[in-house]
Amino acid sequence: MSTSAPSQPDAPLVTRFAPSPTGELHLGNARTALFNLLLARHTGGRFLLRVEDTDSERSREAHTQGMMADLRWLGIEWDAGPDREDDRGPYRQSQRGALYAQELATLESSGAVYPCFCTPLELSLARRTQLAAGKPPRYAGTCRELAAPERARRLAAGTPATLRFRVPRGERIAFTDLVHGEQSFSSDDIGDFVVRRADGTAAFFFSNAVDDARMGVTLVLRGEDHLTNTPRQLLLLGALALPAPAYGHVALLVGADGAPLSKRHGAVSVREYRERGYLAEALVNHLYRLGHSSALHGLLTLEEMARAFDAKHLGRAPARFDEQQLQVWQKEAVHRLDAGAARRWLTEVLPRGLEEHAVAAFTAALLPNLLLPEDARAWVEIVFGAPPPLEPEDAELVRAAGPGYFAAAAAAAARDGSDLPAIAGAVRAATGRKGSELYMPLRLALTGRTHGPELAPLLKAMPPGKARERLARFA
């Protein structure tokens, strides 16, 4: 059997993101979701969200809610999903039991599956023996040829049983992977796999493939770790006479050391980045370029990404998540925040009860220097708090400028408020100083630091009278 990628690359695609809600939304999964969204939008198709929660032990509703919130925060919206049902739903696998039962019954009646009574212990021993002999672990087929009366006897006795798919022997399974090109597998290398667990729930290979077909998915783009699952799923769909989607498997995300991105590398969930103050625009711009080469530079909107997204530009090499590169996007995204968005972004660090114009002046002064909201904390203290202390060598610089310097500066501040050119002009006239000789003592007296945001807007952000008071200290 064989299937291939869609022949018309721009035909409307139905794509999906199918997370298992067993943890937080990982950056790698967020990228998969993004690419699927972009493929659907690029072709004017549909993007679905399906929650794969058949493993009731490990699935949590809180994770489903968290993932949906993270996706929405990134701007990744689905056309149908658990909270936006349509006639292809329900979009939670835990609610699709009746549908799976129907398909399983079809497989049972055609003899494509058989009950397997092997216990987990027996299976794990067999596995270990195969591994020890240097063979790939594969179900040995113990229950495949069980005589019908024996099968019936065990079932009647209530012996726990899984249901396994009878993989046909001597077949080739070929498909064209959107990323990896032509693929060909021998069915003889595939062991009979479980389609229904002993507790009666549908197993991953089965529910995942059946749902793609039943939901009308035409392209499955997912992580490379699923590439070898695809031939099994094609066999299943063939046995059920269901349409197979096209498949593409994207390279995994790796950390700076080349190992798969994991907690060892630090923050790997979307939530962690959001909570640290990374902006969604920055994160999606970095994810967009991971494993997908883009000719477009600069910060892109999702609409621009969708227009430009090209499945032919998906690379096979592992894609490196690089926080420094993310920070480049973050700087650009911060730069573009409007006053309202900047205020919301800095809510945690801004003093309570600040008037609108004061917030606007503060954010205007600070934004060009910020990467994360946390970086503004020290400046909140400097601008709104007590006079900042000086390092000994800086105190010396200030003293050396002399009382005349500061008397002129304070008088100008009293007269002209927070107008830096007026203050600097008065000091220049009084002292003849220029350049950094002129500005550094002002900066030190006002902020306590030799470096920081541009001084003129910073002065404007200070509460009235504050500049004069700080300058007058040294007059």
Q: How far is the CB of 3 from ligand GLU (least distance, A)?
A: 16
Residue closer to ligand GLU (CB basis): 52 or 394: 52
With b for 16 or more beta-carbon neighbours within 10 A and e for fewer, the 441-475 pattern comes to bbbbbbbbbeebbebebbbbbbeeebbbebbbebe
Of 66, 19, 30, 16, nearest in space to 326 by CA? 30
Maximal CA-CA distance, the chain: 109
Q: How far is the CB of 223 from ligand GLU (least distance, A)?
A: 7
With b for 16 or more beta-carbon neighbours within 10 A and e for fewer, the 323-345 pattern comes to eeebeebbbebbeebeeeebbeb
Q: Compute the distance between CA of residue 334 and CA of residue 344 in angstroms, rounded to an integer.
A: 12
Residue closer to ligand GLU (CB basis): 20 or 363: 20
Contacts of residues 344-350 at CB distance under 8 Å and 24 or more positions apart, as own/partner, are 345/277, 345/279, 345/373, 346/373, 346/376, 348/373, 349/373, 349/374, 349/376, 349/377, 349/380, 350/376, 350/380
Residues that bind ligand GLU (CB under 6 A): 18-20, 52, 208, 220, 222, 226
Residue facing ligand GLU at closest CB distance: 222
Q: How far is the CB of 226 from ligand GLU (least distance, A)?
A: 5
Residues 6+ away with beta carbon under 8 Å from 241: none
Residue 253 · residue 227 · CB < 8 Å? no
Q: How far is the CB of 252 from ligand GLU (least distance, A)?
A: 12
Residue closer to ligand GLU (CB basis): 93 or 447: 93
Residue closer to ligand GLU (CB basis): 3 or 294: 3
Residue closer to ligand GLU (CB basis): 180 or 226: 226
Residue closer to ligand GLU (CB basis): 39 or 220: 220
Q: What DSSP element (H or E) covers 201? A: none
Q: Compute the distance between CA of residue 458 and CA of residue 382 in angstroms, rounded to an integer.
A: 10
Q: How far is the CB of 293 from ligand GLU (least distance, A)?
A: 23
Residue 470 · residue 387 · CB < 8 Å? yes
The 3-state DSSP class for residue 202 equals strand
Q: How far is the CB of 201 from ligand GLU (least distance, A)?
A: 14
Residue closer to ligand GLU (CB basis): 26 or 289: 26
Q: How far is the CB of 220 from ligand GLU (least distance, A)?
A: 6
Ranges of beta strands (E only) in 92-225 are 113-116, 162-165, 172-177, 181-186, 194-196, 219-223
Residue closer to ligand GLU (CB basis): 50 or 289: 50
Q: How far is the CB of 236 from ligand GLU (least distance, A)?
A: 13
